């Protein structure tokens, strides 16, 4: 970790705990800041807040009182999930206080260079691939960000011998000022998180902050097939590297004669790749670009692509019960991800979907729903998804109360050779804390069927 003096004596308000809030509170305390933590959960139910209290951090729990800002804070660090419409955050901005996320601080303190990956879909798969490809290279990769360990925790132990491979969200990127990856990867942009950002334009602009501080010595990797990404990368400093599954690109990764090339160098034949789904080719091309730029060896890239079969919760094969195949795609928190998952199967699909209502309709899903055998729906969006299924002409439409009931209903209604696919097309937060918890609940429910 760099020897940072900037935070000594600075008064910092950390709003919202969870993993990132706890990590950044501890870090700022270590860096000499005067830290005040504010969290919605009451102190008696808040183990994390009590832990911070024991370190000498001031903790205010049970709500977000506006009078907190009567104190002279130099900085606010907010949990990425807290929207900018939150009254406390709005007031802080009105008072001219800088509001950031912990990702900003991670970038400042890290001795290691960073590869940052963003996009609406495919971030975790791409991040994992890059990290695996960079093993056995000159710099040991460290995974960070949304994929697991909080970025500012990893940054504290990273050295110049490492490279941080970091999955970053629009929520995190909005709260950055000087965030500066060595290599930035922007995979794609689809309608998502509009309840948070308001418009697709605002969502895209938040994602594009990944490019904001690049220099001519840095690289940015973009999807040449996504016009939104291309538009948002116009005028960016740094060295442009592209990937495309549709055409040959001169400075990047592409497919020709059933083979992947990077800058006209043959990397691997498609028939050696084990990761399923045509959609994953974009993730693979993006990963090759970033990994090669960071020094990955070709033989390691080939080894990874010949053995890597996927990430948990992303069209993850679970098991076969009585000739029914179960797949967990809990990470599908938007319609596009669900479209992609359904399209990966040739066998009849019974889709389990539903979750948090973000205010959108599901008409864009109708053409893909026409391909499924039936749907089992639950959660806040069940009725909206049911309306889309009816418009698609489906007659097999079942609505249940929760995911456990959905698994049982889908199995009872299935036939041999059916695929039972959890691909919710929605965030998990109506009934679950995270998509991982939702996926684990699905896996447990599936295994309980066999008991």
C-alpha dist (Å) from residue 92 to 34, 174, 255: 17, 15, 49
Cα–Cα distance, 312 to 314 (Å, whole number): 6
379 assigned ligand-binding residue: no
Token look-up 């538009």 returns 231
Nearest partner of 407 among 371, 449, 368, 437, judged by Cα: 449
Phi, psi (degrees; rounded to nearest 5) at 203 = -60, -45
SS (H, E, C) 23-56: HHHHHHHHCCCEEEEEECCCHHHCHHHHHHHHCC
DSSP symbols for 284-337: HHHHHHHHHHTT--HHHHHHHHTT----TTSSEEEEEETTEEEEE-TT--SHHH
Give Cβ neighbours of residue 414 (< 8 Å, ≥ 6 apart): 324, 350, 420
122 assigned ligand-binding residue: yes
Length of the chain: 451
119 assigned ligand-binding residue: yes
Pairing of strands 316-321, 324-328: antiparallel
423 assigned ligand-binding residue: no
Q: Where are the beta strands (DSSP E) in 119-199?
A: 140-145, 162-167, 183-186
Note the Cα 299 to chain centre separation in Å.
28
**Both structure tokens of 35:** 């830290």
Cα–Cα distance, 243 to 290 (Å, whole number): 10
298 assigned ligand-binding residue: no
123 assigned ligand-binding residue: yes
Is the separation of the CB atoms in 397 and 386 below 8 Å? yes
125 assigned ligand-binding residue: yes
Q: Which residues are annotated as a binding site?
A: 119-125
| Known binding positions for ATP | 119-125
């Amino acid at each position: 970790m760099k020897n940072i003096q900037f935070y000594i004596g600075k008064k910092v308000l950390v709003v919202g705990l969870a993993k990132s809030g706890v990590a950044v509170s501890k870090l700022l305390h270590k860096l000499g800041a005067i830290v005040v933590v504010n969290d919605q959960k009451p102190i008696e139910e808040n183990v994390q807040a009590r832990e911070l209290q024991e370190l000498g951090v001031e903790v205010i729990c049970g709500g977000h009182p506006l009078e907190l800002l009567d104190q002279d804070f130099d900085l606010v660090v907010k949990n990425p999930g807290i929207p900018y419409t939150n009254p406390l955050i709005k007031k802080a901005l009105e008072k001219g206080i800088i509001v950031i996320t912990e990702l900003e601080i991670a970038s400042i303190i890290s001795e290691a260079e960073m590869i940052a990956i963003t996009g609406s879909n495919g971030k975790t798969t791409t991040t994992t691939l890059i990290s695996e490809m960079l093993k056995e290279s000159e710099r040991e990769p460290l995974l960070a960000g949304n994929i697991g360990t909080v970025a500012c925790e990893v940054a504290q132990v990273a050295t110049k011998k490492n490279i941080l491979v970091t999955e970053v969200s629009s929520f995190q990127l909005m709260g950055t000022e000087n965030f500066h990856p060595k290599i930035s990867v922007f995979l794609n942009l689809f309608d998502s998180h509009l309840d948070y950002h308001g418009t697709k334009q605002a969502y895209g602009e938040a994602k594009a902050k990944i490019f904001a501080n690049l220099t001519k010595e840095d690289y940015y990797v973009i999807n040449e097939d996504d016009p939104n990404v291309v538009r948002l990368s116009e005028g960016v400093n740094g060295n442009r590297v592209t990937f495309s599954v549709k055409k040959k690109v001169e400075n990047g990764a592409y497919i020709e004669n059933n083979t992947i090339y990077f800058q006209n160098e043959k990397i691997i034949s498609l028939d050696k790749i084990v990761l399923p789904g045509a959609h994953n080719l974009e993730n693979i091309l993006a990963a090759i670009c970033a990994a090669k730029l960071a020094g990955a060896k070709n033989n390691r890239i080939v080894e990874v692509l010949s053995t890597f079969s996927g990430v948990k919760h992303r069209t993850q094969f679970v098991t076969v019960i009585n000739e029914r195949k179960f797949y967990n795609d809990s990470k599908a928190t938007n319609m596009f991800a669900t479209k992609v998952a359904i399209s990966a199967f040739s066998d009849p699909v019974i889709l389990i979907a539903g979750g948090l209502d973000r205010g959108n309709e599901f008409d864009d899903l109708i053409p893909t729903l026409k391909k499924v055998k039936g749907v089992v729906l639950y959660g806040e969006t069940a009725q909206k998804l049911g309306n889309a299924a009816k418009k698609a002409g489906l007659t097999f439409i079942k609505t249940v109360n929760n995911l456990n009931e959905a698994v049982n209903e889908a199995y009872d209604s299935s036939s041999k050779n059916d695929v039972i696919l959890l691909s919710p097309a929605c965030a998990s937060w109506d009934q679950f804390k995270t998509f991982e918890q939702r996926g684990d609940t699905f896996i447990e429910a599936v295994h309980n069927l066999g008991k």
